[in-house]
Chain A
Amino acid sequence: MTTAPMLKIERLEKSFYMHDQQKRIPSACNTSFHVLSGRLTALVGATGAGKSTVLKAIYRTYLPCRGRIIFRTASGQSVDLATADEHTILKLREREIGFVTQFLFALPRQPAIDVVASPLYKQGISKSEGQEKAAAILRRLSIPENLWSSSPTTFSGGERQRINLARGVIGRPRLLLLDEPTASLDPRTTNDVCQMITDLKYEGTGILAIFHDPGLVKRMADDVYCVDGQKKTENIS
């Protein structure tokens, strides 16, 4: 395992300008840290400090205002995710960078097993093979088999979260971004999820995670970074 960071965040800054109110709302500010392959970095900080913002900025759901996000790709190239062109980002999202958000977004009417397998279908893997792999993860996360053909939109919060997680990890991304992966889970399933995340880590995945529970941070994190966001909003008149 190489020691060069898989992900280098350098002085990342993100704020939001609301045109209708002519107000700029600051979020993450002067954020710098590394993520290494085979290690889990936990982002901690008060609610609203900008932890999810950092994850979204890496995934390019948010456009960073300042700073660099240097990602070392599978082929060894360094890409600044903050300024890379859209096609590059889409390709990286397909193969190398996974993001498990807090909320599940799924096609209506799609059975859970296909929701989980969809990243594999996009890679051209057959339906039968995709479903087989999805089934393995669903079993591991204790999703009852009789639910696999139902749409996750009918599931409970905890079940949806596990579907989201399954979908996020099935493609074995090199960099995994996790936003509160155990927030709605009971202790037993939390344990199963943690075990799965640890296994991924040992396979070499670089993981950046937000855990709401300080106990989980202690248990899971190899490195911890504290996000310190500003609280004031600025009026630009």
Chain B
Amino acid sequence: MRKVLDVKAMSKIYGQGCPYCRDATGPEVNTNICRHCGSVVAIDDISFTLYEGEILGVMGESGSGKSTVAKCLYFDETADGGTAHYFDNHGQYSLFDLFNLNAAQRRWLRYRRFGMVYQNPNLGLNFGISSGGNIAERLLMNDILVYADIRKRATELLRRTEVPMDRMDDLPSQFSGGMQQRVQISKALATNPPLLFLDEVTTGLDVSVQAGILDLIIELQDRLKTSMIVVTHDLGVIRLLAGRTLVMKNGHIVEAGLTDQIMEDPQHAYTQKLVASVL
């Protein structure tokens, strides 16, 4: 069982920050906003590990900081504190160490080792080019330069995600929400990334579409053994996908454990409330 990600004390603050921010925010005081300086402590003291082939759920309500965790690791945002190490066959990378990992290297990791699927397809897709083109773009960035190979790979991915082949040259704006998500997933998977981030990928979709996408994610994980971090507020999705789960509130992890244990024997008051609230 190999470790893929080791995160320690990760934090992100929007605003100037002050010495009182840490104590003035968090789940005990029910707020992310420091009353002394007005900064927003999006996440603080986030520590966890992710092993190869596992799916880690990050669960919490709006404002918990769960998306920020994914964004900092994927370099959409810059973490302010803590360390994160990514491990694979080629070595070990200290993700937040700006002295040892320059922008080009971060970009390399982002395109060659990581994948991200956003809740909003606008963030993950280029709406100016066709869906096939979106996948091609990612393959090109990975030095797959032969047109025939690109076309073949794009076709295969869209087939796996059940996007009709004859729509490959259509623009994403011509697709339904569910199909846009499938194209996003195809794009993220184009390079078989060892680490995949899924940020609220089925929120807002019809239940049947959601079921199809979840089936797909599970099948892909079974086949490719991709390590995943699934960010969601939906307990059903967490239960289906994640073996282990982190529960977040006001920027902190309040509970972490096996998913079935968190659901059936929640220890923290907030987790108990959350689990009891599900319809």
List residues of chain A with CB under 8 Å of any chain B CB.
16-20, 56, 60-63, 86-87, 89-91, 107-110, 121-122
Q: A19-B269, A109-B211 are in contact. Are A90 and B261 (CB under 8 A)?
A: no
Asked if residues A56 and B51 are in contact (CB atoms below 8 Å), the reply is no
Q: Which of chain A's residues have a CB closer than 8 A to the CB of B54?
A: 87, 90
Q: Which 6 A-B pairs have CB atoms at the shortest separation, nearest pair first?
A: A19-B269, A62-B265, A61-B260, A108-B211, A61-B264, A90-B243
Q: Which of chain A's residues have a CB closer than 8 A to the CB of B268?
A: 19
The digit string for B207-220, where 1 denotes a CB below 8 A from any CB of A, is: 00001101100100
Asked if residues A122 and B222 are in contact (CB atoms below 8 Å), the reply is yes
Residue of A nearest to B243 (CB): A90
Residue of A nearest to B222 (CB): A121
The digit string for B246-271, where 1 denotes a CB below 8 A from any CB of A, is: 00000000000110110011011100
**Cβ of B273 < 8 Å from any Cβ of A?**
yes
Q: Give the residue of B51, B215, B264 whose beta carbon is less than 8 angstroms from that of A107.
A: B215
Q: Which of chain A's residues have a CB closer than 8 A to the CB of B51?
A: 87
Complex alpha-carbon distance, A62 and B200, angstroms = 28
Asked if residues A109 and B261 are in contact (CB atoms below 8 Å), the reply is no
Complex alpha-carbon distance, A62 and B268, angstroms = 14
Q: Which of chain B's residues have a CB closer than 8 A to the CB of A19?
A: 268-269, 272-273
Residue of A nearest to B210 (CB): A108
Q: Which of chain A's residues have a CB closer than 8 A to the CB of B272?
A: 18-20
Asked if residues A63 and B265 are in contact (CB atoms below 8 Å), the reply is yes
Q: Which of chain B's residues have a CB closer than 8 A to the CB of A110?
A: 215
Residue of A nearest to B218 (CB): A107
Q: A18-B272, A61-B261, A62-B261 are in contact. Are A86 and B222 (CB under 8 A)?
A: no
The digit string for B166-179, where 1 denotes a CB below 8 A from any CB of A, is: 00000000000000
**Cβ of B240 < 8 Å from any Cβ of A?**
yes
Complex alpha-carbon distance, A101 and B240, angstroms = 16
Q: Which of chain B's residues have a CB closer than 8 A to the CB of A90?
A: 54, 243-244, 258
Asked if residues B1 and A91 are in contact (CB atoms below 8 Å), the reply is yes
Asked if residues A16 and B265 are in contact (CB atoms below 8 Å), the reply is yes
Complex alpha-carbon distance, A109 and B222, angstroms = 17
Residue of B nearest to A106 (CB): B240
Known: A18-B272, A86-B244, A89-B258. 4 other contacts (CB 8 A): A20-B269, A61-B258, A63-B261, A107-B218
Complex alpha-carbon distance, A122 and B257, angstroms = 21
Complex alpha-carbon distance, A148 and B13, angstroms = 53
Q: Which of chain A's residues have a CB closer than 8 A to the CB of B267?
A: 17, 63
The digit string for B1-23, where 1 denotes a CB below 8 A from any CB of A, is: 10000000000000000000000
Q: Which of chain B's residues have a CB closer than 8 A to the CB of A62?
A: 261, 264-265
Residue of B nearest to A118 (CB): B222
Complex alpha-carbon distance, A105 and B219, angstroms = 17
Asked if residues B257 and A86 are in contact (CB atoms below 8 Å), the reply is yes
Q: Give the residue of B240, B244, B273 whose beta carbon is less than 8 angstroms from that of A20.
A: B273
Residue of B nearest to A109 (CB): B211
Asked if residues B215 and A109 are in contact (CB atoms below 8 Å), the reply is yes
Complex alpha-carbon distance, A109 and B260, angstroms = 21
Complex alpha-carbon distance, A231 and B157, angstroms = 57
Q: Which of chain B's residues have a CB closer than 8 A to the CB of A56?
A: 264-265
Residue of A nearest to B268 (CB): A19
Q: Which of chain A's residues have a CB closer than 8 A to the CB of B214?
A: 107
Residue of A nearest to B3 (CB): A87
Residue of B nearest to A18 (CB): B272
Chain A to chain B contacts (Cβ below 8 Å), 9 pairs: A19-B268, A62-B261, A63-B257, A63-B265, A63-B267, A86-B257, A86-B258, A107-B215, A110-B215
Complex alpha-carbon distance, A87 and B257, angstroms = 10
Q: A20-B269, A122-B222 are in contact. Are A60 and B258 (CB under 8 A)?
A: yes
Q: Which of chain A's residues have a CB closer than 8 A to the CB of B258?
A: 60-61, 86, 89-90
Complex alpha-carbon distance, A19 and B271, angstroms = 10
Q: Which of chain B's residues have a CB closer than 8 A to the CB of A87?
A: 1, 51, 54
Q: What distance in Å separates the Cβ of B42 from its nearest Cβ neighbour in chain A? A: 26
Q: What distance in Å separates the Cβ of A27 from its nearest Cβ neighbour in chain B? A: 11
Q: Which of chain A's residues have a CB closer than 8 A to the CB of B261?
A: 60-63
Q: Which of chain B's residues have a CB closer than 8 A to the CB of A108?
A: 211
Asked if residues A107 and B260 are in contact (CB atoms below 8 Å), the reply is no
B212-248 contacts to A (CB < 8 Å): 212, 214-215, 218, 222, 240, 243-244
Q: Which of chain B's residues have a CB closer than 8 A to the CB of A86?
A: 243-244, 257-258
Q: Which of chain A's residues have a CB closer than 8 A to the CB of B218?
A: 107
